[in-house]
């Protein structure tokens, strides 16, 4: 069909122009994206070093001593295994919490009856400061890894659950009508339309769960049993080891950055459509 | 009417010769006494009042009218997306309830699924019908080729222009081989040139496939260009006021049809009908 072909050609021209514009924009923003933050961090470290010269090291350790503490933590067996234990707990709790939150969220979002039954519980538990439940968790599951993982799981379940159910419930009506008119079954509509359409919400829930997972991990370790990052924090705190505390702060913030960056990469590759304008 | 066997009007028959010479023995779609009232907080709106219509096999029929005349509601009720308060719809003599698998719907706002490729969007109805993968691919390729999009089969739909997106919408509907294609102001959001191009393509597809099309529009010229019959509707309450036949020979061309005496006459007739409606408000 000649009309169609003409249209494709013009779109190829469009695409080339778009590519050029895109590359130019990326080159411009690339400079400010990479160079400016590096300069900012360098300036900050410089100021920090100067400030530390005039401050009691108990309050503010110098960048050098923090760097030494950093190296110390990452090269000693006990501290490294404490970090690894924390990571294992965090990801275990996260995977369980996110899976549970997603599954419950899909059911609650899709079926009104389930939503009516679950809503009072979800609202109450969501409003409860879960840290108060830790002693109970300890009574129920002991002071081992289980309690800490369960705590992280609980903390990460709710953002996922609430976002997923909102996403599944608020699927664009037009998508559901496409599924209906083309004869998709209830089940196929859920899997092929409602759940994919909810992915932007699910990713937002995952983002919240990722940052809460680190908090859940550390709180669990401090409150349940002294292991991992929580244990290190208590140790360094009691010993007033400021450099080590700052180093640990940086390490845990790197955990967070890795989580968020991984999610961003997944968003931009696997779920590219969620970030593209429609 | 009782003789239901009609060998000449099958799906495969090429019916692109001339609009007036077709043989219509039995309506493929028989719509009887449709009523629909939308209950609002302020007031009730009678969207459709006692609407009856027969659509013949292989026919291209347009519903035109001002916004609020219930033409889209009628189309949605035919498809089963909305339920009528009363009235019946028969497809090839069979009473319909719910959504019919023998009809497909082209939406004004297209609604392509952004997480699927163009091809994936065309295949979703085939997946619902349990068509196996290789066959799905063959069919999606066939229909995307038909609408001139075989080069963009694997791209995500949001990278396409509006006109190309609606071509995908048409291919998606055609891929399930519907007996009746329902099109709801499909080109309403497109610019003039794209709209005319797509009108011509739909006319060609219709004559090639020998399919029945019910087309909703408020564009009088679009209705004249495409249709065998034009159903003019009024609002408050939504009713059919007149059904006009279009005898212009096919294939019609965008360049020529507007100046035809019949087009001019139809256009002024329909416009007058719609205008008298405006005055009555």
Instruction: With CB atoms and an 8 Å threshold, state whether A174 touches B107.
Output: yes
Q: Kindly tell me if the per-residue pLDDT of A239 is higher than 50.
A: yes
Q: Kindly tell me if the per-residue pLDDT of B110 is higher than 90.
A: yes
Does A40 or A5 have the greater pLDDT score?
A40
Which residue in chain A is spatially nearest to B168 when comparing CA positions?
A4
Q: Collect all residues with Cβ–Cβ distance below 8 Å to B53 and sequence separation of at least 6.
A: B29, B31, B231, B240, B243
Query: What pLDDT, on the 0 to 100 scale, is given for residue A27?
Result: 64
The stretch A149-157 carries a mean pLDDT of 95
The stretch B185-193 carries a mean pLDDT of 92
Which residue in chain A is spatially nearest to B202 when comparing CA positions?
A1
Helix (H) or strand (E) holding B128, with range, is helix B118-128
Q: Kindly tell me if the per-residue pLDDT of A4 is higher than 60.
A: no
Instruction: With CB atoms and an 8 Å threshold, state whether A4 touches B201.
Output: yes
Query: What pLDDT, on the 0 to 100 scale, is given for residue B29?
Result: 95
Which residue in chain A is spatially nearest to B76 when comparing CA positions?
A181
Q: Collect all residues with Cβ–Cβ distance below 8 Å to A60 and sequence separation of at least 6.
A: A48, A51, A52, A242
Burial, B164: exposed, middle or buried (Cβ in 10 Å; 0-12, 13-18, 19+)? Answer: buried
Question: Across the interface, which of A4, A172, A184 has its CB nearest the CB of B147?
Answer: A4
The stretch A87-104 carries a mean pLDDT of 96
Domain coordinates of chain B in residue numbers? Answer: 25-102+212-281
Cis peptide before B179 (omega within 30 of 0): no
With a threshold of 0.95, tell me whether the complex ipTM lies above it: no
pLDDT band at B113 (very low <50, low <70, confident <90, very high): very high
Per CB distance under 8 Å, which residues of B are interface residues toward A?
A: 79-81, 99, 101, 103-105, 107, 109, 111, 113-115, 124-125, 127-129, 146-149, 151-152, 156, 158-161, 163-164, 167, 172, 176, 194, 197-198, 200-201, 204
Question: What's the pTM value of the predicted model, to 2 decimals?
Answer: 0.82
Query: What pLDDT, on the 0 to 100 scale, is given for residue A33?
Result: 78
Query: What pLDDT, on the 0 to 100 scale, is given for residue B174?
Result: 96
Q: Kindly tell me if the per-residue pLDDT of A167 is higher than 80.
A: yes
The stretch B186-198 carries a mean pLDDT of 93
Query: What pLDDT, on the 0 to 100 scale, is given for residue B6?
Result: 41
Lookup: tokens for B141: 């390729």
pLDDT band at A142 (very low <50, low <70, confident <90, very high): confident
Q: Kindly tell me if the per-residue pLDDT of A143 is higher than 90.
A: no
Q: Kindly tell me if the per-residue pLDDT of A99 is higher than 90.
A: yes
Query: What pLDDT, on the 0 to 100 scale, is given for residue A60?
Result: 86
Question: Across the interface, which of A178, A193, A273 has its CB nearest the CB of B156?
Answer: A273
Whether B106 and B202 have beta carbons less than 8 Å apart is answered as no
Lookup: tokens for B274: 């719609």
CB pairs < 8 Å spanning A and B = 99
DSSP state of A191: I
* Candidate from A117-121, A193-197, B23-27, B30-34 with smallest mean pLDDT: B23-27
Q: Kindly tell me if the per-residue pLDDT of B278 is higher than 90.
A: no
Domain coordinates of chain A in residue numbers? Answer: 1-54, 63-275
Per CB distance under 8 Å, which residues of A are interface residues toward B?
A: 1, 3-5, 7-8, 11, 14, 172, 174-175, 177-185, 188, 192-193, 196-197, 199, 271-273, 276-278
Partners of residue A4 in chain B, C-beta under 8 Å: 147-149, 167, 201
Three-state SS sequence of A216-235: HHHHHHHHCCCCHHHHHHHH
pLDDT exceeding 70 applies to what percent of chain A? 89
Q: Kindly tell me if the per-residue pLDDT of B251 is higher than 80.
A: yes
- Distance (Å) from the alpha carbon of B281 to chain A's nearest alpha carbon: 32
Query: What pLDDT, on the 0 to 100 scale, is given for residue A15?
Result: 62
- List the Cα angle B208/B209/B212 in 5-degree steps: 120
DSSP state of B72: H
pLDDT band at A26 (very low <50, low <70, confident <90, very high): low
Q: What is the dihedral of CA B75, B81, B85, B89, to 10 degrees?
A: 60
pLDDT band at A5 (very low <50, low <70, confident <90, very high): very low
Which residue in chain A is spatially nearest to B204 when comparing CA positions?
A1
CATH 3.40.50.300 describes domain B25-102+212-281: yes
Coil, strand or helix at A103: helix
Tell me which fold the domain A63-275 belongs to: MetI-like fold (1.10.3720)
Instruction: With CB atoms and an 8 Å threshold, state whether A183 touches B176.
Output: yes
The stretch B135-158 carries a mean pLDDT of 94
Partners of residue A13 in chain B, C-beta under 8 Å: none
Does B136 or A56 have the greater pLDDT score?
B136
């Amino acid at each position: 069909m000649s009309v169609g072909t003409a249209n494709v050609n013009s779109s190829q021209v469009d695409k080339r122009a778009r590519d050029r514009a895109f590359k130019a924009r990326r080159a411009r923003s690339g400079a400010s994206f990479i160079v400016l933050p590096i300069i900012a961090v360098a300036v900050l470290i410089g100021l920090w070093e100067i400030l530390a010269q005039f401050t009691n090291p108990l309050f503010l350790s110098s960048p050098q001593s923090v760097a030494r503490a950093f190296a110390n933590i990452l090269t000693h067996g006990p501290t490294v295994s404490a970090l690894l234990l924390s990571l294992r707990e965090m990801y275990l709790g996260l995977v369980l919490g996110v899976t549970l939150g997603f599954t419950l969220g899909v059911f609650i979002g899709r079926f009104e009856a389930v939503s009516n039954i679950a809503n009072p519980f979800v609202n109450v538990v969501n409003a409860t400061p879960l840290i108060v439940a830790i002693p109970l968790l300890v009574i129920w599951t002991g002071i081992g890894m289980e309690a800490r993982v369960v705590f992280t799981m609980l903390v990460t379940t709710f953002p996922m659950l609430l976002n997923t159910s909102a996403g599944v419930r608020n699927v664009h009506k037009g998508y559901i009508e496409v599924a209906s008119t083309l004869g998709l079954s209830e089940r196929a509509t859920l899997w092929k339309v409602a759940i994919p359409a909810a992915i932007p919400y699910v990713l937002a829930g995952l983002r919240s769960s990722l940052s809460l997972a680190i908090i859940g991990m550390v709180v669990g370790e401090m409150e349940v049993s002294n292991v991992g990052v929580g244990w290190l924090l208590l140790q360094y705190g009691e010993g007033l080891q400021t450099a080590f505390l700052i180093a640990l702060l940086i390490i845990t913030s790197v955990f967070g950055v890795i989580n968020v960056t991984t999610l961003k990469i997944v968003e931009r590759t696997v779920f590219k459509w969620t970030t593209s304008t429609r | 009417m009782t003789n239901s066997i009609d060998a000449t009007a099958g799906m495969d028959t090429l019916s692109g010769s001339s609009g007036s010479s077709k043989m219509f023995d039995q309506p493929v779609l028989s719509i009887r006494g449709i009523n629909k009232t939308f209950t609002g907080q302020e007031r009730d709106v009678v969207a459709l009042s006692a609407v009856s219509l027969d659509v013949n096999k292989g026919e291209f029929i347009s519903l035109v009218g001002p916004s609020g005349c219930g033409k889209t509601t009628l189309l949605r009720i035919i498809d089963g997306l909305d339920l009528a308060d009363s009235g019946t719809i028969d497809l090839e003599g069979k009473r319909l309830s719910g959504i019919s698998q023998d009809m497909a719907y082209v939406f004004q706002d297209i609604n392509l699924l952004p997480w699927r490729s163009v091809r994936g969007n065309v295949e979703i109805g085939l997946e619902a019908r349990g068509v196996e993968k290789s066959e799905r691919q063959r069919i999606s390729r066939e229909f995307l080729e038909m609408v001139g999009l075989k080069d963009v089969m694997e791209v995500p739909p949001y990278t396409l222009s509006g006109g190309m997106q609606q071509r995908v919408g048409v291919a998606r509907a055609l891929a399930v081989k519907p007996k009746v294609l329902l099109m709801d102001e499909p080109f309403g959001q497109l610019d003039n040139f794209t709209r005319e191009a797509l009108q011509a393509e739909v006319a060609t597809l219709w004559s090639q496939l020998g399919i029945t099309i019910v087309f909703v529009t408020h564009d009088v010229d679009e209705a004249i260009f495409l249709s065998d019959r034009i159903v003019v509707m009024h609002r408050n309450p939504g009713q059919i006021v007149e059904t006009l036949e279009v005898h212009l020979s096919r294939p019609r061309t965008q360049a020529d049809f507007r100046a035809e005496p019949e087009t001019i006459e139809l256009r002024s007739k329909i416009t007058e009908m719609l205008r008298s409606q405006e005055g009555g408000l």
